[in-house]
Chain A
Amino acid sequence: MTDITQLHRELVNRVLDSDAQAPRELRRAAFDNAGLDEPVRTLIDKVARRSYRVTDEDAAAARAAGLSEDQIFEIMVCGAVGAADRQYESALAALAEATGGR
């Protein structure tokens, strides 16, 4: 079978803890989709829960709030990785429960 355990851990560590342009606290909040202020809150909530609704205006609002394009890039990646990570962990927990941890 495939084994993404290490690659998955490395991806999460990179987006949250590497030296990047958005502050770590902001990246963590985007990853968790929690504790964000507008307009970033709307942008990241859309990335996490209905990405097809993200608009040019959402990105423009984040720019107008003082974020650089690279910072916006980083928090959008964090929002996507965090949401997918929660889905994945939910499913792995369900699998462990269904198989009795075998």
Chain B
Amino acid sequence: MRLDVLDRGHPLPTKALFGVIRVMSRQPVVDAVKLAFYRKDFYGAGDLTHEAMRGPSAWSVGDRELMAASVAQANQCPFCIAAHSATSGLWYDDDAKVAATLADLDTAPIEESLRATLRMLGKLSREQSIDADDIRTVLDAGVTPAQIEDALAVCLAFNITARLANAFDFTVVGAAAMTAGAKHLLKRGYR
């Protein structure tokens, strides 16, 4: 963690909660949790992320976690790629599908609507903007405008989160901690 306040600046009740998390999960408290609990009255993006990732949508939770991993990949964010690949893979019960999508979107075993959407989100995340033609390509793949809006909400949440994970230098923890985190995100979400 690049800033000491994010590691050690939490008030005592939050530190006590972190102690409980460490004991119950038998894993270290990951940096994403430390950020989420730091000065919620200033940043506190948990509710936004939760609505984007778990609110009512034609996209499944697994699809949205895959979008998050894909946006993280466009941001070159190792922490978020690992965390949301694990969560998506757990939801689909198919880690290989997630790995194949991140390795080569063109040949991945996913529906064309999701492929076109991931391509659009990747372009937006890498190039900072997209135009109406990019949107029309996604519509032509059978994606509804409502689904595009939902995907853009995921993209907003993770273009913030991945930037901060990189900027604050989140530690990529081991597979066991990532799996524990993925189970928690599927059970409780982001709030």
A residues at B contact (CB < 8 Å): 1-4, 7-8, 11, 14-15, 18, 20, 46-49, 51-52, 54, 56, 59, 69-70, 72-74, 76-77, 79-81, 83-88, 90-92, 94-95, 97-99, 102
* Complex interface: chain A residues within 8 A of B159 (CB): 80, 83-84, 87-88
* Complex interface: chain A residues within 8 A of B135 (CB): 91, 94-95, 97-99
Extra inter-chain contacts (16) besides given A56-B2, A95-B135, CB under 8 Å: A1-B55, A3-B55, A8-B48, A11-B43, A15-B43, A46-B167, A51-B75, A51-B167, A52-B76, A70-B5, A72-B3, A73-B6, A76-B168, A87-B155, A94-B131, A99-B139
Chain B interface extent, by class: 35 or more
* Complex interface: chain B residues within 8 A of A7 (CB): 47-48, 51
**Least Cβ distance of B78 to chain A in Å?**
9
Segment 85-116 of B: residues with Cβ below 8 Å from A: none
Do the beta carbons of A8 and B156 come within 8 Å of each other?
yes
* Complex interface: chain B residues within 8 A of A83 (CB): 128, 159, 163
* Complex interface: chain A residues within 8 A of B131 (CB): 94, 97
* Complex interface: chain A residues within 8 A of B139 (CB): 98-99
Q: How far is the CA of A60 from the CA of B131 in the complex (A)?
A: 38
